């Protein structure tokens, strides 16, 4: 995995351009991800999020629904590694909820002095490769009640969950707020290998960001130094855009 200027060129949208929202939602519908430019601050980010759907609140968000992610002196809350300078492993947001938010939007307000690259992983590609090379592992990673996310009061489910319409949703975190059955634990090294194999790392300048289908794409970051500030919004998309939960198992569309 190496950082490049823009490994997701085909999915880049300038949100200030005419027809940008249609382009953004088309990329999300087809690929589950879009990278955007032209967001100059929190108000602009919220405006874009509200055009896409309903903003979903979060424990760490302000009243508008925006979570400012920047290092804190002593983040004591469980699962607060995002508020440090450490790198984060690929994960989906709100894995402890029965129905995690559909979309996760992240925008850069201030780049780090060094490091802090964004990382994304296509869970559909990981699922497709597992189905090809190790069906037994995929079956165990899909077993109901084989993973507990978020501690005792969290969600008991699976890494790969079956949804209506034969679609699949990925749900994952691997920090101290996740517990796995013995069958799943023995498959984690292979899963981590495939996550690394499919990872895309890239840098974002201030005013740029990305939005992903949180049921398909995992996100992460590399460690950094300096003052890095990102803003996150969780979104339930408007029905008119036809964005479906999860992904269709099988080969990834090019």
Domain boundaries, the chain: 10-71+86-239
The pLDDT of residue 2 is above 50: no
Q: What region does 237 belong to: left with phi over 0, alpha with psi -120 to 50, or beta?
A: beta
SS3 call for 121: strand
pLDDT score, position 77 = 66
pLDDT tens digits, residue range 129-185? 999 999 999 999 999 999 999 888 899 999 999 999 999 999 999 998 999 999 999
Look at strands 103-110 and 118-122 and give their pairing: unpaired
Query: CA 106, CA 68: separation in Å to the nearest integer?
Result: 10
The pLDDT of residue 80 is above 90: no
pLDDT score, position 253 = 54
pLDDT score, position 152 = 82
pLDDT score, position 160 = 98
SS3 call for 143: coil
Neighbours of 188 (CB within 10 A): 16
pLDDT score, position 252 = 66
pLDDT tens digits, residue range 177-197? 999 999 999 999 999 999 999
The percent of residues in the chain predicted with pLDDT above 90, rounded, is 83
Q: What is the mean pLDDT of the chain?
A: 92
Residue 214 vs residues 95, 107, 117, 170: alpha-carbon distances, Å: 10, 15, 19, 8
- Specify the higher pLDDT residue, 88 or 250: 88
SS3 call for 6: coil
| Packing angle, helices 20-31 and 42-52, rounded to 10 | 60
Sheet containing 178-180: which strands, arranged edge to edge? 155-157, 147-149, 178-180
Q: What are the beta bridge partners of residue 106?
A: 210, 232
pLDDT score, position 128 = 97
In sequence order, what E strands does 38-190 have? 53-56, 66-69, 88-91, 103-110, 114-115, 118-122, 147-149, 155-157, 160-163, 167-170, 178-180
Of the pLDDT bands very low, low, confident and very high (cuts 50, 70, 90), residue 87 is very high
The fold of the 10-71+86-239 domain, in CATH, is Double-stranded beta-helix (3.60.130)
């Amino acid at each position: 995995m190496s950082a490049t200027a823009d490994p997701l060129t085909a999915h880049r949208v300038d949100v200030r351009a005419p027809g940008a929202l249609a382009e953004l939602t088309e990329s999300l519908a087809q690929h589950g991800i879009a990278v955007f430019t032209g967001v100059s601050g929190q108000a602009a980010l919220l405006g874009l999020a509200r055009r896409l759907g309903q903003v979903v609140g979060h424990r760490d968000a302000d009243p508008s629904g925006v979570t400012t992610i920047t290092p804190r002196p002593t983040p004591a809350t469980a699962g607060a590694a995002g508020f440090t300078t450490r790198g984060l492993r690929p994960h989906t947001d709100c894995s402890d909820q029965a129905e995690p938010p559909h979309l996760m939007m992240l925008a850069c307000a201030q780049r780090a002095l060094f490091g802090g690259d964004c990382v994304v992983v296509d869970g559909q590609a990981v699922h497709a490769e597992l189905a090809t090379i190790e069906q037994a592992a995929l079956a165990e990673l899909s077993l109901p009640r084989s993973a507990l996310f978020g501690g005792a009061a969290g969600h008991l489910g699976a890494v790969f969950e079956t949804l209506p319409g034969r679609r699949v949703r990925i749900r994952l975190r691997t920090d101290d707020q996740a517990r796995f059955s013995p069958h799943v634990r023995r498959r984690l090294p292979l899963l981590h290998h495939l996550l690394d194999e499919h990872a895309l790392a890239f840098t974002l300048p201030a005013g740029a960001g990305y939005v992903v289908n949180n049921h398909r794409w995992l996100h992460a970051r590399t460690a950094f130094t300096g003052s890095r500030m990102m803003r996150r919004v969780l979104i339930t998309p408007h029905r008119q855009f036809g964005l479906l939960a999860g992904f269709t198992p099988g080969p990834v569309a090019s």
